[in-house]
Chains A and B, each alone.
Chain A
Amino acid sequence: MSINTKSNGSVSKAPGSVIAGFVTLFSYGLLYGLASSAPAYAEPEADRQAMRAHYEKRFSGIPIEAHKDGVYAFDEDAREQWLELEDFPPYEIAVDEGEEFFNIPLADGATYSDCFGDGAIKSQYPYFDEERSEVITLELAINDCRRQHGEEPLPYNGAEIVRLSAYIAFLSRGQIIAVAEPVSEPALAAYNDGKRFYSSRRGQLNFACSSCHVQLAGKRLRSERLSASLGHVSHWPTYRLKWQDVGSLHRRFARCNKQVGAEPFAQQSPEYRNLEYFLTYISNGLPLNGPAIRK
C-alpha cells in the first residue's frame, strides 16, 4: 500500500501512553513547534493569531482585512475585471427576490422579521447552541423559524434559502465577524472537529483545505491563484460566474472537496457546519461583505 499513508499511519497508531507517543513522534522528526505543549489542541484564540501571523508573513503588505475579497486582495489583473463586474452586480436580482421571500407571511401569519428583526443579523451566525449542543448557522436558523411558524423547512440546496440568505447578507454588510470563543467542552469539540476537517488530507489527490489555502495560498493552481482562508466566510452567498447563480458557502465547500476527488458532504451537515464554525471564528475581526462575485 501507499508508502505515505503507511508511514503516517504508524504515527497515528502511537500508543496511548504519552511517553511512547512522544518517542514515536521524535523518531519521525515531526516534533517541531509543540515540544512543550502537552495538550493536543491549541486554544481557538491562539489558532486565530497563528493564522493571522501566517498570512501577514505570506502576503506582506496586504492587511488581513483585505482577504475578505479572496484572490482579488492580491491578484491585480483579476481584481480589475472583478471591479468591473461590481458595476452591475449579478447578485442583485437574488437579493431582490430574497427580500420578497422575506416579506411573504408564513403559515401562521408571522413573517421572518418575527425571528430576525430587520434582517441585519448575519454576524450572529454561526454560533454554538449549548442546549442543542450543535452549531447553528443562518440557514439552520431560517428553517427553525419556518418550523416555528408552521412551514415546511426549505431544502438547503434550493433557490429560496440562498436568496433569503443573500438578502440577509446584504443587509448585514459591514458588520464585524465576532464569533464567541468556544469555551464549553461541546463547543470546543465542534470547533476542533472543524479544525480537524480543515487540516485533514482527503480524496485521491490527498490534499487538505489547508494544503491549498494555507501552505499554497497566493500560489497558482492551474489557472487560478489560491486565496487565504481568513475571509473565506465573509461574503456568502456568492454569485459564481461558473454557477451562473448565487450559491452558499457549503456549496463551495463541496466543490473544493470534489476537486481533490473526495465525496462531498451535504449542505448543513454537521461536518460542514463545524467547518464553518471554525473558519468563522478564525476570521473574527473581518467585516461581512456578502453577497459577492467570484469566478
Chain B
Amino acid sequence: MTASEAKAYYLTQPSAPGPEWARPVRQKALERFAALGFPTTHDEDWKYTSVEPLVKIPFAAGSGGDDGAERRIADFGVEDLTPNRLVAVDGRFSNRLARLGDLPKGVIACGLAQAMSAHRNLVEPYWTRIADYREQAFSALNTARAEDGIFLFVPAGVTLAPIQLLFISSAAEDGPTVSHPRCLVVLGRGSQATVVESYFGMRDEAYWTNAVTEIVLDDNAVFDGYKIQMESERGFHIATQEARLGRDAVFTSHSFALGAELARNDVNAAFVGEGGDCTLNGLYVTAGFQHVDNHTRIDHKQPRCTSRELYKGIMGGKSRGVFNGKIYVHAHAEKTDARQTNRNLLLSEEAWVDTKPQLEIHNNDVKCSHGSTIGQLDDDAVFFLRSRGLDLHAAIGLLTQGFANDITGRVKQAPVAEVMERKLSEKIDLMAQEKERW
C-alpha cells in the first residue's frame, strides 16, 4: 500500500464504538489521524525512522484469540515475575488469563472497556488527556481504534504489590494483524505501584502493536515501571508511554527494547507539580536488520524537579538505533536538576546509531547536562580476556554484557532483573556469534 492507501485502509477498519461518552473523543482522534496521515522522514520527529515497511503491509484487526497464551507466557519466562498480572490479547482484556491475589481495598485492576463503563469517574479525567494524540498519528489511531485495554487504579496511600501487564499479539498465521493496546494507570496521592509491562507475540509472525500507556501520579505517588519489549523479529512495535507527575511524585521507567523488526518507543514525562523526581533508564539491543528508535521527552514545567536519564544502545549486524532525548525546561521551572546521558556500542562496521540529546532551557537557575557517546568494543579489553583463556565469542559477550550492566543493575525487582538478564544474554550471545563471523 502507499501511505494514502494505508491511511484510507485504517480509517475504514471497523472497531466497536465503546461507551457513549467516549465517542466524540474517538471520533476526533480518527479525524486527527486522517489529517496527519503516517509520518515521513521529513517530519523532524521521524527523521531517522521510516515507517514505510509498516505502511506497506495491510494489517487486519487482531482477533483477540487467547488460545495457548499460557504456553507462550511460560516460554517467555514471564509467568511468575509478580504476584499479580493482567493480560490483554490484541489489546483486548482477557479475564481468563488475569491472576490477581488479594488486592488492597479500593484497588481496581481490570479491562479498560469495563472501567470506562463502570468507573467512568476514574477514567474520564485522564483518558486521552495525558498522552496527547492531536499531533501524533499513531496515538490518534490508537485512540480511535482501541476498544479495550488495561486499567489500574491505586487509591491514595495504598501500596500495591508488583503487577505485570502482558500485552500479547495473537499474530495469526493467516495474515498480519494489528492491535492497539491501551493502558491507563492512575495512582492516588501517596500511593505506590510497581508495574512490569511485557510485549510479545503468540507466533514469530509479522504483526503490528500500536500501544499507548498513560500514567497519572498524584502528589507523592511512586511509580516504578518496567517495559520489556520482546516482539517477534518480524513484528512492528510503535508505543507511547506518557506520565504526568504531581507534586513530589516519583516516576521511574526502565525500558528494554530487544525485539521487533521496527520499533519506535516514546517515553514522555511531565512535571505538573513541584519537587517531582523522574528517572528514565533504557536499553536497546538490535541485531540483524532491526531498527529501534527511542524518543524521550521530559517536561520540567514546575520548579525544583529532578530528572535523570540514561539510555544505552547495543547495535550489531546491519541494525540501526536512534536516540532522541529532549529535556524541556519551562520558564518558571527554577532549580531544575536534569541530567541526560546516551551511550552506544556498535558491534559491527555496518551497524549505525543516530543520537540526538537535546536540552531546551528557558530558566537561568537550573543545573542541566547532557551527553552522548558512540563507541566500539575495546580491542585491548578483548585481547585481555582472550589472554586469560576466554574465546573470542565469550570475550565479546562478556564485554557487551558489561556495557549493559549498569542499566540491568538498576532493576529493583529481582525476578524482573533475572528475566531481563537472561533475555539479554541470549541476545548478546547471538550477537557475539554474529560478530565473530565478521
Asked if chains A and B come from one complex, the reply is no
- Which residues of B are interface residues toward A (Cβ below 8 A)? none
